[in-house]
Structure 1
Amino acid sequence: MVALTGGAAAAALGTAARAAPTAPRWGTGMDGQRRADLGDGTYLNPILAGDHPDPSILKDGEDYYMTHSSFDASPGLVIWHSRDLVNWTPIGPVLTKVLGTVFAVDLVKHDGRYYIYIPFMKAPWSTDLKDFANIYVIHADTMAGPWSDPVDLGIGGLIDPGHLVGEDGERYLFLSGVNRVKLARDGLSTIGPVKKVYDGWHYPDDWVTEAYALEGPKLMRRGDWFYLISAVGGTAGPATGHMVIAARSRSVNGPWENCPHNPIVRTRSDAEHWWSRGHATAVEGPGGRWYLVYHGYEKDYRTLGRQTLLEPIEWTADGWPRALGGDLSKPLPMPGKSAGPHGIARSDAFDAPAFGTRWSFYGATPGEAGRAQVGKGALLLKGKGTGPQDCSPLTQMVGDRAYEISVAMDLTGDVQGGLLLFYNDRLFFGMGHDGARMTTYRGGKAAYWQEPAPATRRLWLKIVNDHHILTFHYSADGQHWTRHGVRSETSGCHANTVDDLASLRPALFAAGAGSVRFTDFRYRALT
């Protein structure tokens, strides 16, 4: 084993960082995390780094609110707030009763009340959801809540809701396909059947895409026109797949006329910095200019998931949106004056709970939040299952290309605790310890490598992710570190190889009948 102590460890990490590939210069936020606002009147995408897919954005006076697919996270649906479309801070999670995997939602305001329309995919532990997906809605008088429990709209087999008020004053919900159903005036039930209303714009057959997949309808009214912005081409797959298309109509009932310069956004080559760009919403910025907010994969870093991007648009003389961003690897002018802080600290002293913002359970059953208690500098996590694959670990988001995470843990009872980079219950990397021996996890299973870590009930763990190269470290005192004897390469951990729309992210786990006391979780982005 190679022992790295004090300055030697720091020097080794610094050398790795200096040797890393060159990257665009982002701003720096908390814990060294990258930040879009460059502080000179420009910003550099992404506006939300890390896995923030399917953005749904609402302009509410001078305030902007945004939320994203939260998938298997519990609590779910973090609401973000901004005044400038670039700097975002979390208000908190609004979905405490998770009924399944949460796909693309729609955040709207109508008659002074807030609504989020939510597709729940069937959860493995649930027997209540009969179909491929069911659409629910939650509502609140203020964005800070309290939010209602989910209300079942009785819509099965469709996802990606998009709310619109027609010229008749009635409320409608557009869905994948593109289908449509009328809503009751209170928005909490449907009236009549679901009907297909738009067949999409069809790209040439020789274009390389994942699938046609007409989805993500987002609607708005501007002047005398209703605009329908949707996605085709599949959400992952080839870099050139996912794209944004537009159509318009003078009536909510159609007919829908396709934009003559569709697609209005598309990655045309894998040489571009952002791949698979789609699922867009048009929003008016603070200075009166218009923008598209959508997601995309970062070239060479699809492990980070689909990140939130902001691109300026113009309205042409004949009333169509035209994207103006060009090469999104370069800075763009800020929509307005920088307004406020950005992001959330990833390090955690465990003085107060931060579930739903900093931490969330993966695939937890209802009522499982009681497994975790936070306070007085510690996270006490009760064990569950037999390992990372079935213990519902606590995970958190990450948006940096290279970073270091570390934590101290104390074991009580028959339990294994550990530190991971976790994609899903079939793919994870890291270290677990049960007091007698260490288990190395690679590729979603216990590896053959037997690391000779000491038999101890107290241990410090550290993982360095240096541009997909993982190095594990452990320490008996938090000062003198031993480098684990095996490294891993993780660039293939993304949807195209795992068939799951997720990201590789830090996680803490406790498996078994005992409990683990975690302290001093630290996150540090590497430049």
Structure 2
Amino acid sequence: MHRLARFRGRARLLTTLLLAAGLGFAASSCSSATDPGGKATNATPDAYGWARGVENQRKADLGDGTFLNPILAGDHPDPSVLRDGDDYYLTLSSFDAYPGLPLWHSRDLINWAPIGHAITTSVGSIWAPDLIKHEGRYYIYFPGRTDEGRSNYVVWADNINGPWSEPIDLHLPDHIDPGHAVGEDGKRYLFLSAGDYVQLSDDGLRTVGEIRHVYDGWHYPEQWVVESYSQEGPKITRRGDWYYMITAVGGTAGPPTGHMVIVARSRSIHGPWENDPNNPVVRTQTRDEQWWSRGHATLVEDTAGQWWMMYHGYENGLWTLGRQALLDPIEWTDDGWFVASGGDLSKPLPMPAGEPVDAHGLPLSDTFDGPALGPQWAFYDPAPGEMARIGFEDGALVLQGKGEVPRDASPLTAIAGDHGYEFEIEMEIAPGAIGGALLFYSDRLYAGLGSNGRDFIMHRYGEERPKRLAPGPGGTLWLRMRLEDQVLTIHHSRDGREWTKYGVQMEVSGYHHNVAGKFLSLRPGLYAAGDGQVRFRDFRYRALD
């Protein structure tokens, strides 16, 4: 059995190398169609190489035994993947969006389906979590930061589907990106940014003793173009007699050649840690590559014995989509290190072992049938009790107004992973309320249109024109937002049949982290402001070819 697994792994590696060299499968250039319900009727690759799935969204599985990155399109940063028998589970940074810590399930590392969220109580912006299983219990360790301060937290569950505990403060305010490990002594440890670590209690819910420094990192040549050193994201994997620490340096965004994956190993969890002589094992070499700022990796072994790195990267020229989840095959060398064999990830690669059991992806369209908010939606920077703003009546999402404009209204947003798309929404705006649709990055950058039922307010550059919209009489309005070639075009209708193009189109390619910070992405959004309620009906999303 082990020989067969090794043979299959080597065969996949050979195919990987051929594909990375451009000698393997050629993707056909035809698009998939969708039925009226938004389900994919086929999954043949499109002109760019990706297959098309639900709502015409792009997907990695090409249906011919190969896949094309990203495995999760759109903003899915800092992926932490856990193999649990024949199943794989994944969580990611959720930043200011709540519910947070989204959870995904797969049987083949490529086709992923959402299974829920692990946190609803806000502890601030959530960065770089680590999902692990220890003695039958699931844990997620993660940092949270607010304007008042930051710390590291843990939530736990006996079932991956929940219920999950409330966040427990580990009282670690000076570090980010915790990574869990079990030492050769059987004790539990939490590795932290800057090469530090601390022991955990046996139940994993508090720290024991002092923080210790154990690793100085690997330093790249001074002439390399990076954002900053930023030693972070330690993930610990044990293989044989060695512990491997996978770390990110070079900064997360900034120049495309900055972020990278470095490796160190030790026979003891306490060190000393020696650097891989071939560091970095992954780095974007030039801005001409398809994937920029590749880094922040977790190792995972599939059911046939092939090893992979899962990490994130920005798509060339599309910072607005955020950091997307990527999968890279690795091969272990005779001297106990490993090399990445997926090249620059611009070409198809052989599928991992396993059979998909769930349809890939997350439909973004929503008929708002209730009784709960769909898994595609999250509030931006919610206040305590934000969910109380939501109700469901007669096929409508009833959202109580908050604030005056999107920046203080905590919009509902959904992650989109397509180069272009359009969405429509029907709004019934109560007197005194303002309802609108957006492309929303953060409270500093957004674009779209709002209305009091009679007059419009335009949102552009995170500003309003006019600056404020007076309370109006209310009314029913349809909005259609189309993003194509990074240009937003808006249409509106009073009856849902006859549409009028709004007089301003907006170029939004600069709505991203390197302009406004926060490591987010530009997302479809809905908002309700003012004193009344807005009823949203029949949200329809469709990716463009």
TM-score (norm 2): 0.89
Q: Does 1:395 align with 2:413?
A: yes
2:137 is matched with 113
Residue 191 of structure 1: aligned partner: 208
How many angstroms does 1:300 deviate by?
Answer: 1.1
- Choose the corresponding residue for 2:431, options 413, 416, 419: 413
Matched, 1:477 2:501: no
For 2:262 and 2:473, locate their aligned partners in 1 and report how far apart those are by CA, in whole Å.
Answer: 59
Answer yes or no: is 1:372 the counterpart of 2:390.
yes
- Asked whether the 8 Å contact 2:429–2:453 carries over to 1, the reply is yes
User: Contact between 2:432 and 2:474, CA under 8 Å: does it hold in 1?
Assistant: no
- Which ranges of structure 2 fall in alignment gaps of 5 or more residues? 1-45
Q: 1:326 to 1:375 in 2, by over 3 A?
A: farther
Q: Which residue of 1 aligns with 2:76?
A: 52
Q: Which residue of structure 2 lines up, in the alignment, with residue 328 of structure 1?
A: 345
Mapped to 2, the partners of 1:447 and 1:88 lie a distance apart of 41
Letter in 2 for 1:364: P
Deviation at 1:357, TM superposition (A): 1.9
Q: Distance in 1 between matches of 2:479 and 2:334?
A: 59
Q: How many angstroms apart in 2 are the aligned matches of 1:264 and 1:221?
A: 18
Determine the C-alpha separation between the residues in 2 that align with 1:27 and 1:119. 35
Partner of 1:147: 164
Alignment deviations for residues 34-54 of structure 1 (CA, whole Å, 9 cap, x no partner): 000011100000000110101
The yes-or-no answer on 1:499 pairing with 2:517 is yes
Asked if the contact 1:41–1:337 (Cα under 8 Å) also holds between the matched residues in 2, the reply is no
Aligned counterpart for 2:313 among listed residues 276, 282, 296: 296
- Which residue pairs with 1:160 in the alignment? 177
Q: Name the CA shift for 1:27/1:436 in 2 (closer, same or farther; >3 Å).
A: same
Q: Per the alignment, do residues 32 and 486 of structure 1 end up closer, same or farther by CA in structure 2, a change over 3 Å counting?
A: same
With over 3 angstroms needed to count, the CA separation of the structure-2 counterparts of 1:312 and 1:300, relative to structure 1, is same
Secondary structure at the aligned position of 1:389 is classed as: helix
The residue type paired with residue 144 of structure 1 is N
CA RMSD of aligned residues (A): 1.6
CA-to-aligned-CA distance 1:445-469 (integer Å, 9 cap, x gap): 1136999xx9861000011000201
Quick one: distance in 2 between partners of 1:342 and 1:514? Answer: 38
Residue in 1 aligned with 2:43? Answer: none
Residue 103 (structure 1) aligned with residue 134 (structure 2) = no
Does 1:33 find its partner at 2:51? no
Is the aligned partner of 1:459 residue 2:477? Answer: yes
Q: 2:372 & 2:441 partners in 1: Cα distance?
A: 21
Which residue type is aligned with residue 147 of structure 1?
W
Aligned: 1:259 with 2:283: no
C-alpha deviations, 1:61-82, integer Å up to 9, x for none?
1110000000011111110000
Amino acid at match of 1:24: Y
Q: Do the aligned residues in 2 keep the contact of 1:78 with 1:356 (CA within 8 Å)?
A: no
Structure with greater contact order relative to length (CA < 8 Å, sep ≥ 6): 1
Whichever residue aligns with residue 229 of structure 2, its letter is: Y
CA distance in 2, matches of 1:506, 1:365: 20
Which residue number in structure 2 is paired with residue 11 of structure 1? none
Distance change (3 Å), C-alpha of 1:506 and 1:343: same
Q: Percent identity?
A: 57
Q: Quote the residue 2:236 is aligned against.
A: 219
- Which residue of the other structure, out of 264, 269, 288, is the alignment partner of 1:247? 264
Q: Describe the SS at the equivalent of 1:370.
A: helix
In structure 2, the partner of 1:306 is 323
In the superposition, relative to structure 1, how do residues 456 and 392 fare at CA in structure 2: closer, same or farther (>3 Å)? closer
* Contact 2:215/2:273 (8 A) holds in 1: yes
Query: How many Å apart are 1:336 and its aligned residue?
Result: 2.2
Which whole-Å deviations, capped at 9, do the CAs of 1:9-60 have from their partners, x for residues lacking one? xxxxxxxxxxxxx962211111110000011100000000110101111111
Partner residue of 1:62? 86
Greater Cα shift, 351-360 or 300-309: 351-360
8 A contact 2:431–2:473 mirrored in 1 = no
Contact 1:75 1:355 in 2 (8 A): no
Distance 1:44 1:367 in 2: 41
The superposition leaves residues 364-414 of structure 1 with CA deviations (integer Å, 9 ceiling, x where unpaired) of 011110101135311000000011010101011100000001100001131
SS of residue paired to 1:312? strand
**Alpha-carbon contact 1:56-1:68 (below 8 Å) kept:** yes
Deviates more, 1:192-201 or 1:290-299: 192-201
What residue is the counterpart of 1:5 in the other structure? none
Give the number of equivalent residue pairs. Answer: 497
Amino acid at match of 1:306: R
Instruction: Please give the per-residue CA displacement for 1:320-354, whole angstroms capped at 9, x wherever unaligned.
Output: 12000013111100002541311111110111256
Structure 2 counterpart of 1:427: 445
1:68-107 correspondence to structure 2 within 5 Å: 68-107=92-131
* Residue identity opposite 1:152 in structure 2: D
What do the CA deviations read for 1:123-159 (whole angstroms, capped 9, x no partner)?
A: x4xxxx5x4x201111111101111111111111211
> What CA distance in whole angstroms lies between the structure 1 residues aligned with 2:473 and 2:386?
30
Inter-partner Cα distance in structure 2 for 1:374 and 1:322? 52
Structure 1 residue 301 displacement after superposition: 0.9
1:10 corresponds to which residue? none
Structure 1 residues 450 and 148, CA gap change in structure 2 (3 angstroms): closer
Which of residues 520, 523, 527 is equivalent to 2:541?
Answer: 523
- Counterparts of 1:278 and 1:495 in 2: how far apart (Å)? 16
Q: Which residue of 1 aligns with 2:297?
A: 280
